[in-house]
Amino acid sequence: MTALAVVPVVLATLLIGARGVAALRSTSDFLVASRRVSPTLNAAAVSGEYLSAASFLGTAGLVVKNGVGALWYPVGFTAGYLLMLVLVAAPMRRTGALTVPDFAEARLGSPGLRRFSAVVVLVIAGLYLVPQFTAAGQVLTLVSGTPHWVGIVVAGAAVSITLALGGMRAATYVQAFQFVLKLLLFIVPAIWLLVAAGADTRAEAVRPAEYAAFPRPTEVTFRLDTRLQVREPVTVLADGVPVRLEPGEHVAPGDATWVFPEGAAVPEIAGAALPGSGTWQRPLLDGGNWHPLLATWSVLVATALGTMGLPHVIVRFHTSPDGRAARRTAAITVGLLGSFYVFTVVYGLLGGVLVPELYLSGATDTAVVALPSRVDGGTTGDVFTALLTAGAFAAFLATSLGLLLALAGALAHDLLPGSLRRLRLTALLAAGVIVLLALPAARIDVGAVVTSAFAVAASTFCPMLVLGIWWRGLTARGAFVGMAVGLASSAGVMALGLVAQPGPGLVALLLGQPALFSVPLAFLTMVAVSRRDRPLPGAEAAMLRLHLDERT
Amino acid sequence: MSRQRRVAVTSPQTRVALAARRGVSAVPRSLTGEELRVAARIRRGQLRVAAGTLAAAALLLVGLPVLLGAVPVALRVGPFPVVWIAVALLPYPVLAVLAHWQLRRAERTEDGTEQAGRDLPDRAR
């Protein structure tokens, strides 16, 4: 029943998308809506595009899993637009480039660098898109019991049809509409949850007790193979069969359903903090590991600097008529995002009190959608579950639209330049490939994969954009080597971490959250390599004109 | 010169290709010496403005976690731990104020170099 809530969202997306069709005539129309969008509309569209499943579901889920420190994620997401406003918004718009690879060629005059940038776009967009589609499947599975693939296919179909019909022009209206929708669907249920939860739950949420023992018989369906540290002997019903667990490490297989008896001690999971415990309550990240400050800074560096390097965000600034409008768009976006993210704490804290068992199952990404039924078992609870499901689905749609556009742009505009028809086809094909990739990826952690996309963007595009705009000495070779080093030390190092699986500690922290060293490394490499070259003769003028008001 | 007219957009790729064929630099329209001096002055001014905002942002993003690591969770304002308010609510208005401040100063830096007598399009202020 609740799954039907996604129908109006998909229909509205298609209807608003259809509105843009008449205006669509050329490739530049498709990509940047012929640049006539006002700062406020564009800021709403930027926010609508940016508020993905990671924001709507993932952050509150991370609070349940890792503690209050996870609230630094949305701070970094918002700060990213401040840095964009300061460093890139107006000059980037003035390059006239349609995409980040366009910028690379326009500023540094190297077609090779353009193609390499397009490859980086593919990496970032892929890392960002697959978890969006996976999350769509997860939420639909939770609320309706439909198979995982239904949600993924529905999301993929809605997104690619809208893109193929209307392109960016449609996407601008769709994204702006979806920002308003998501804001309402996030704030209204939050207020209702606070009121309906009652004084006791509210008091508990701000003074949480450690989730030390199961308050009632608790059923846990593990999403992944999970290593549990059992503290006291306990008999669980493992898929209906009683199994006695002695203290020590036990592995619960993925998809298994275990029922823990009332009063049993809650097992611990390495690298996560028991909801309500002292480390959970501490406002720094990575409760289980040492060096919580390093972990917090690393996430902040990745999210704040990664935002300006996200290809789908950058392309949206080109729908502003000029540099000034682009700058205003960034400034308004900081305010719009803040008004959304201040409500994350409501879901996170209530989730820690009402659905702490998600910490065991690993399905913390569903915490937001699971909350209403815990507060109200009747129709009202169902209605709010449906509203939050619709909001979450709007989040997948909006972000996926922008990402597919960037992906299609990189393929059809930069790697294999072609016609509008080819660009549309590319968007459709890209959506199909992502759906195929998302189907077997049911088990990835949505928040973690999205953050890795930020780390890659922060280590590659961020240094190229910042140095390209502010330093005349940047050369094509410097940018190329710097981006290659940044890509290897972010994506490469994270892949190494996945393969090596080091135990908790500094090594695991550096492999899992490499931004703290990969971003400075990329900057330093770019500067060092560029200094050995001579900049192109026109480099200084090419850089300076980006700082001149184009209406002069 | 209405803003509402559809505008033709040339990809820099095309511009670069055409410029390269003529054997000149990729810059679409060469700036005059005077324009270059103005642009250099604006860039220096914008760098100063940016440095201020970046310092404030760094103080928030680097400094606040250090501070919050040191303050005990037990310290409360009413029922709420101070450190929770500081991470969950405080950063957003601070970021919005910084954004407003940066926008105003960046636009003024740009305007300060505008020639007298040029009619300015409508401004927010």
Q: Residue A146 has what pLDDT?
A: 74
A281 touches chain B (CB under 8 A): yes
Burial class (CB in 10 A: 0-12, 13-18, 19+), A43: buried
> On the CB side of A246, how many CA atoms lie within 13 Å of its CA?
0
A303 touches chain B (CB under 8 A): no
Q: What would the pLDDT profile of A404-440 be if each residue is shown by its tens digit?
A: 877 887 887 777 766 556 667 787 888 888 888 888 7
Q: What would the pLDDT profile of A330-359 be if each residue is shown by its tens digit?
A: 999 999 999 999 999 999 999 999 999 888
A342 touches chain B (CB under 8 A): yes
- Sheet holding A248-252: strands in order across? A248-252, A226-230, A268-269
Does B116 score more than 60 pLDDT? no
| Higher pLDDT, residue A316 or A245 | A245
Does A1 score more than 90 pLDDT? no
Burial class (CB in 10 A: 0-12, 13-18, 19+), A224: middle
Q: Residue B123 has what pLDDT?
A: 41
What is the C-alpha separation between A15 and A513, in angstroms, rounded?
Answer: 41
Write down the mean pLDDT value for chain B. Answer: 76
CA distance A314 to chain B (A): 16
When pLDDT is averaged across residues A444-472 and rounded to a whole number, the result is 88
Does B113 score more than 50 pLDDT? no
Nearest to B27 by CA among A119, A484, A548, A391: A548
Contacts of B3 in chain A (CB under 8 A): 36, 321
Q: Residue A17 has what pLDDT?
A: 59
Nearest to A479 by CA among A107, A124, A127, A119: A107
> Residue B23: pLDDT band by 50, 70, 90 thresholds?
very low
Helix (H) or strand (E) segment spanning residue A120: helix A111-144
A545 touches chain B (CB under 8 A): yes
Closest-CA residue of B relative to A83 is: B54
Q: Residue A309 has what pLDDT?
A: 86
Does A138 score more than 90 pLDDT? no
**CB atoms B89 and A338 under 8 Å:** no
CA distance B6 to chain A (A): 7
When pLDDT is averaged across residues A123-149 and rounded to a whole number, the result is 81
Q: Residue A289 has what pLDDT?
A: 56
> Residue A166: pLDDT band by 50, 70, 90 thresholds?
low
> On the CB side of A399, how many CA atoms lie within 13 Å of its CA?
26
Q: Residue A515 has what pLDDT?
A: 92
SS (H, E, C) chain B: CCCCCCCCCCCHHHHHHHHHHHCCCCCCCCCCHHHHHHHHHHHHHHHHHHHHHHHHHHHHHHHHHHHHHHCCCCCEECCEEHHHHHHHCCHHHHHHHHHHHHHHHHHHHHHCCCCCCCCCCCCCC
What is the C-alpha separation between A370 and A360, in angstroms, rounded?
Answer: 15
Q: Residue B117 has what pLDDT?
A: 35
User: Is residue A220 within 8 Å of residue A357, measured between CB atoms?
Assistant: yes
**CB atoms B92 and A342 under 8 Å:** yes
| Higher pLDDT, residue A4 or A75 | A75
What is the C-alpha separation between A365 and A53, in angstroms, rounded?
Answer: 9
Report whether CATH 3.20.20.370 matches the domain A2-20+29-207+277-281+311-446.
no
Does A45 score more than 70 pLDDT? yes
CA distance A533 to chain B (A): 17
The region, left, alpha or beta by phi > 0 then psi within -120 to 50, assigned to residue A34 is left
> Residue A507: pLDDT band by 50, 70, 90 thresholds?
confident
- Sheet holding A257-260: strands in order across? A218-221, A257-260, A234-238, A241-245
Identity of the residue in B4, B39, B103 whose CB atom sits nearest the CB atom of A544: B39
Q: Residue A442 has what pLDDT?
A: 64
Q: Residue A22 has what pLDDT?
A: 44
Q: Give the DSSP letter string of A55-116.
A: IIIIHHHHHHHH-GGGGHHHHHHHHHHHHHHHHTHHHHHHTT-SSHHHHHHHHH--HHHHHH
User: Is residue A53 within 8 Å of residue A403, measured between CB atoms?
Assistant: no
User: Is residue A541 within 8 Å of residue B36, measured between CB atoms?
Assistant: yes
Contacts of B105 in chain A (CB under 8 A): none
Identity of the residue in A75, A102, A207 whose CB atom sits nearest the CB atom of B12: A102
Helix (H) or strand (E) segment spanning residue A237: strand A234-238
Q: Pairing state of beta strands A248-252 and A226-230?
A: antiparallel
Which of B15, B95, B108, B115 would best serve as a mutation to test chain A binding (most A beta carbons within 10 A)?
B95
Instruction: Give the count of beta carbons closer than 10 Å to the beta carbon of residue A115.
Output: 16
User: Is residue A519 within 8 Å of residue A486, measured between CB atoms?
Assistant: yes
A98 touches chain B (CB under 8 A): yes
Contacts of B4 in chain A (CB under 8 A): 36
Does A476 score more than 70 pLDDT? yes
| Higher pLDDT, residue A230 or A172 | A230
Which stretch of A85-94, A352-361, A420-429, B6-15 has the lowest confidence by average pLDDT? B6-15
Identity of the residue in A83, A321, A544 whose CB atom sits nearest the CB atom of B43: A544
Instruction: Give the count of beta carbons closer than 10 Å to the beta carbon of residue A532.
Output: 9
Contacts of B99 in chain A (CB under 8 A): 81-82, 85, 330-331, 334-335
**Identity at A383, one-letter amino acid code:** V
Identity of the residue in A79, A106, A413 whose CB atom sits nearest the CB atom of B61: A79
What is the C-alpha separation between A386 and A372, in angstroms, rounded?
Answer: 9
CA distance B86 to chain A (A): 9
Contacts of A344 in chain B (CB under 8 A): 88
List where CATH 1.20.1730.10 sits in chain A: 2-20+29-207+277-281+311-446
Q: Residue A440 has what pLDDT?
A: 77
Nearest to B100 by CA among A540, A13, A332: A332
Percent above pLDDT 90 for chain A: 30
Which stretch of A15-29, A64-78, A192-206 has the lowest confidence by average pLDDT? A15-29
Provide the angle, in degrees to the nearest 10, between the axes of the packed helices A59-66 and A446-470: 120
Q: Residue A3 has what pLDDT?
A: 61
> Residue A290: pLDDT band by 50, 70, 90 thresholds?
low
Identity of the residue in A82, A109, A548 whose CB atom sits nearest the CB atom of B38: A548
Does A54 score more than 50 pLDDT? yes
In sequence order, the 6+-apart residues with CB closer than 8 A to the CB of A312 are: A49, A125, A128, A399, A402, A403, A405, A406
Identity of the residue in B28, B30, B54 whose CB atom sits nearest the CB atom of A86: B54
Identity of the residue in B61, B99, B121 whose CB atom sits nearest the CB atom of A300: B61
Write down the mean pLDDT value for chain A. Answer: 84
**CB atoms B110 and A85 under 8 Å:** no
CA distance B53 to chain A (A): 7
Q: What would the pLDDT profile of B32-42 be if each residue is shown by its tens digit?
A: 888 888 888 89
- Complex-level ipTM: 0.88
Which stretch of A142-156, A365-379, A502-516, B21-35 has the lowest confidence by average pLDDT? B21-35
Q: Residue A256 has what pLDDT?
A: 84
> Residue B5: pLDDT band by 50, 70, 90 thresholds?
very low
Identity of the residue in B16, B39, B86 whose CB atom sits nearest the CB atom of A283: B86
DSSP state of A410: I
Q: Give the DSSP letter string of A243-283.
A: EEE-SEEEEEPTT-EEEEPTTPBPPEETTS--TTSHHHHSS
Percent above pLDDT 70 for chain A: 89
When pLDDT is averaged across residues A156-175 and rounded to a whole number, the result is 68
Contacts of A81 in chain B (CB under 8 A): 99
CA distance A58 to chain B (A): 15
What is the C-alpha separation between A52 and A46, in angstroms, rounded?
Answer: 11
Does B22 score more than 60 pLDDT? no
Placement of tokens 């690993």 in the chain: A362
